[in-house]
Chain A
Amino acid sequence: MIAHVAPLLTMVTSAAAAAAERWPGVDETVVERVAVAAGRTPWTVPFAPEGDALLFAFLIAGLVGGFVLGYTYRALFSPPAQPGEERRP
């Protein structure tokens, strides 16, 4: 059984690794290479979100940013309502 599972596991993990290497940011392709070559190691604070929690954080950030954009857009670009009528979107 191990003989069957091991190649599959290897294939899945290498595919996952390849997927993780696709579309790297310039932080990895440029900044990190320069830093590591100079003996520096980038680090992050312990409470920083990881994995799906990071996706969640980005989603919430997008929602909050989008809400503020929409709210302020409305304040700036919608004509003020006249007495007795609803404010136009």
Chain B
Amino acid sequence: MPPACRLSGAEIARAAPTSSRPALAALAVIAVALPRPAHAMHLADGILPFGWAALWSVVAAAGVAVGLARLRRRVSDDRRVRPLVALVAALVFVLSCMPIPVPLVGTCSHPCGTGIAALLVGPWLTILVTVAALLLQALFLAHGGFTTLGADVVSMGIAGAFVGWGTFHALRRAGAPLGVSAFAAGLLSDWATYAVTSLELATALHGARPLGVTALTIFAAFLPTQIPLGVLEGLLAAGALSFLQRRRPDLLVRAGVVAAEDPA
């Protein structure tokens, strides 16, 4: 049994050699300030080399600039756009930080919500809500990175939004019902997000391997988890549009989702 210590912690601290205190303080600061290993659903910091991260950030910044101009114009035209954009932003934020278990595979992933967002506010404003959602997640939830924010915005906010929006309008022009078009938009926007994420990873990290093979291999690895999640996103999009069709058809008309004379 060790001998009883007769000194309190404060007394021991006072008796400690003072010359080591700055060194200890410096070590503590370094330990807190050092980057730590990360696990995040979106691309984390450090995954992409600086050059690629910068390139995707420039692409995302161009989309943000157009999105801001569109937002100003739409808000000045119709003040009810604000609560709709806020609702969509909250929806994208909540959906894209929600890890959903896929029992068949035993893994988790998150829906993106940018397909639904693109249908409700258009693809350009979806870029803005994606930036807001991803920035908040990187700041407060250790969910995605700052250096990779541009790459995440390009995959989720640009590719996901434009594929969802394009799919929906192409199917509607071909005469598909509203629910079917919305389902396909949600499904394909999710898969497009992960296809572009695969491309982002492959372009930066393929090394000596062929780019196409690397991108397809990464995308194939995503698929077991993302196939069911894509279906879930499709169902969410179809449900949201059917709900709006019943409760606020005028919102769908103003969003350009349906024509005024073509309610279904």
Interface residues of A (CB under 8 A from B): 22-32, 34-35, 37-38, 40-46, 48-50, 54, 57-58, 60-62, 65-66, 68-69, 72-73, 75-77
Contacts and interface: CB of A to CB of B under 8 A. Distances in A.
A44 B45 contact: yes
A41 B94 contact: no
Interface in B211-264: 218, 221-222, 225-226, 247-248, 251
A65 to B, nearest CB: 4
21 contacts: A23-B106, A27-B39, A31-B197, A37-B205, A38-B207, A42-B37, A44-B44, A44-B142, A45-B35, A45-B146, A49-B140, A49-B142, A54-B142, A60-B140, A61-B97, A61-B140, A65-B90, A68-B90, A69-B87, A69-B90, A76-B251
Given A30-B222, A43-B37, A23 B108 contact: yes
A35 B45 CA distance: 11
Contacts of A54: 141-142
Given A23-B108, A68-B87, A42 B38 contact: yes
Interface string B61-94: 0000000000000000000100110110111011
A31 B47 contact: yes
Given A29-B107, A43-B38, A72 B141 contact: no
A58 B137 CA distance: 9
A40 B44 CA distance: 11
Contacts of A27: 39-42, 44
B111 to A, nearest CB: 12
